Structure 1
């Protein structure tokens, strides 16, 4: 029997001009690169199906917006014959120190805070650049696939911690103050599991590592430099301590309510991003090293490989007419204040975060009600892979952790790798409890899908995984 074929490639997607960074509600223009951004691609072709395969791509971006996904697939269709473009799966690290991919006014038009700059790479220009480089990585990985093997294992590392703080009045706040008599607890579960897959060439030499961890790349989120965050730090450490030719592909598991920050103790010490970054990365590296020792002894060269892909419809998160009427009143008052201001941009940026957030939410409520008149569902693409005894499952959301735990618990696979913010960038998907307690990441403007849709996503995913095991 033929062996599985594996190919790797990494391409820089670091902008070549000053850019606006994504991930904050204030503008950050920079041309300083702390560490480079990459698109890392791994091609897989099953031993039993020559020419049929998949390419997984991890990108040091805040998300995979639709125009990025479709742009890459269009180029792949032209340049990589034999590879189904829909079998190119892109996921993002969710770094907050990477380029802005769309103008904020695309999502929230006419709010009066848009600035224009000269000599700064626009989101459109950067997107074209990134699409070209990502497609090159896909092509190189696919064309470079050779016979090899894989091994999988699971470890544990405390990386992402729940960032929702719950108070005695039943409300919650992301990164809320815990140093108060009203603090009652942390508002959700965490997932310390690190899923690991190692790839090997025909000489049993390590060629790459793929990991899935419930921790977004947000250690450095507040700085004004370009950075791949802990993904970049991990690549550097592996190059120095393992082998510079070993590729690293990261996936973020369900982590919509998590962050690489200890909300419970942060008020006791100053936050030092570089120190925190090195500490977190060393923790992850130790877990990978432990996994590597186990993996060397269980290399598979003919694992079963299957890829299921489906467009599904989740229930759209709804709003009621009373919410819409209030939102329209609030927006009208805001627009009047904006028009009276001498500088509309300065006025909007002078508002505190909560006020800006509420304005976004009022706009989203009105927009959602209009959206509901056209459809009651939200379409998304769902990919599920089987590779030996493990499964991979994607979603386009910042998925709250409890949904990821449900998928892993109910999965037919021995191990389940989850990749959020994959093949889409569709906002937070919060749990019912989180919506009830409120706070950032739970409001209407945070995403198109609510808890009902989260449960539907879990059911669809578990069903698709089961179908790949039922076919034996």
Structure 2
């Protein structure tokens, strides 16, 4: 998904991104952890346009609800508050900046004891959730909930859930674990001439392989009350929830099945936060061995969504079997917020010429509005480049230390290689990477840009591989600063 960016950076000034907050030595003293949570529906009550594809789709029915789940964390030493966080997982395609701002404004009014900058929203990237931004699609007016209406409803519902979570916080315990599940497949096929294609056909003579890495680890957090009742869990899977992305119905994708399964085993009030890891080049869609996979699924009597959920829940069980033996009531909580400056991707003369040609062709039919907007953003970026120096992309980075684990956010559909790099270089025992904690766009690797294709072309990227490396380096530096005394 895309967001317009006003200007281009001076690359000589961005050899390393500048963190715009002062990072001081972290106070990682053991303290009493307080936990609260709440969940709410963000499902529209009437027909709505749904996001995630180039063509307008109108959802007139709800196959399963889209929800927002808030987890409130606070560490205290006696009556002294040491740090805070509210993490809110949303069944949406992205998190628009205007939504983040609106939610924080509402919370600042209602929760004066909360630092609203420490509220983080993330999207699961389901492609069957409502559009929340005007102008991207040609949407009928009569009888259809408009994007601005939905955005206002969404912000209120999310803020309400955050308030309930904050007001519900009580002493609690946390644990962490690791499981494994085959959920994602790298979705970029590579061919003999070097070009790549998202969802490219693999049973061709010129097919040469899958472009990049996959991360089948499932990082999990667990939260209990002092009596040992499981209150909440956060599950980090490096795969977007877009198995049913082509439908014209509201659907939370595989996360609905995961939530329902876990609640059937651990109580209907269990809070389940869905965190999508670095997965810009990943998908649950099968790339090869399709007939064998589908035969086994059919023989087992599972839908594809149930198949994926079964794998995730199996990994969750692995993690839970270990984590429940180590429950921490005094885990340090340290939450750092930084703004890092990422160099934007330069638009070449050839790329802008191609974009203009596509606009001319697509503009003849209003059904192509989303595609026209997509290509027009490239033209606009090129004009800003010609006008003078272009500003970098400012990204709000959150890094949280919770006991032995780190949690780090980014705005993008971040290619998995960056996530693996950050996890490998992190000093934390486990590192959770949460993508799409903002509006984002794809952020590809150098290899992907060379291969081209959707997700790695300039229309798909505000930030390119140079910025991806800056993001990775700055995230690792901030994570590791929280373990310097260890």
Q: TM-score, normalised by structure 2?
A: 0.88
From 208, 221, 235, the equivalent of 1:211 is: 235
Aligned pair 1:412/2:427, yes or no? yes
1:306-362, CA deviations, whole angstroms, 9 ceiling, x for partnerless residues?
01101110001012334434544x257437x72xxxxx325x48xxxxxx86x6664
From 165, 189, 202, the equivalent of 2:226 is: 202
C-alpha contact (below 8 Å) 2:238/2:276 kept by paired residues: yes
Corresponding residue for residue 250 of structure 1: 274
Aligned pair 1:334/2:347, yes or no? no
C-alpha contact (below 8 Å) 1:52/1:83 kept by paired residues: no
2 CA distance for matches of 1:365 and 1:67?
Answer: 22
Corresponding residue for residue 437 of structure 1: 451
Q: 1:234-313 maps to which residues of 2 (within 5 A)?
A: 234-266=258-290, 275-313=303-341
From 366, 370, 389, the equivalent of 1:345 is: 366
Corresponding residue for residue 19 of structure 2: none
2 CA distance for matches of 1:173 and 1:71?
Answer: 37
Corresponding residue for residue 316 of structure 1: 344
Say how many residue pairs are matched: 449
Query: Secondary structure of 2:179's match?
Result: strand
1 CA distance for matches of 2:183 and 2:204?
Answer: 25
Q: TM-score, normalised by structure 1?
A: 0.91
C-alpha contact (below 8 Å) 1:39/1:59 kept by paired residues: yes
- Which structure would you say has the larger RCO, counting Cα contacts within 8 Å and 6 or more residues apart? 2
Q: 1:125 to 1:115 in 2, by over 3 A?
A: closer
2 CA distance for matches of 1:440 and 1:266?
Answer: 22
Aligned pair 1:22/2:51, yes or no? yes
Runs (4+) of structure 1 moved beyond 2 Å? 113-117, 265-274, 320-328, 331-335, 359-365, 370-374
From 116, 130, 153, the equivalent of 1:129 is: 153
C-alpha contact (below 8 Å) 2:185/2:283 kept by paired residues: yes
Corresponding residue for residue 138 of structure 1: 162
From 409, 422, 428, the equivalent of 2:442 is: 428
Aligned-residue CA RMSD (Å): 2.1
1 CA distance for matches of 2:132 and 2:384?
Answer: 24
User: Post-superposition shift, 1:267?
Assistant: 6.6
Query: Secondary structure of 1:47's match?
Result: strand
User: Post-superposition shift, 1:5?
Assistant: 0.2
Corresponding residue for residue 403 of structure 2: 388
Structure 1, unaligned runs of 5 or more: 107-112, 339-343, 350-355
Corresponding residue for residue 21 of structure 2: none
1:1-56, CA deviations, whole angstroms, 9 ceiling, x for partnerless residues?
85200001001111011101111122221221111111100000013452731100
Structure 2, unaligned runs of 5 or more: 1-29
Corresponding residue for residue 87 of structure 1: 118
Corresponding residue for residue 109 of structure 1: none
Corresponding residue for residue 192 of structure 1: 216
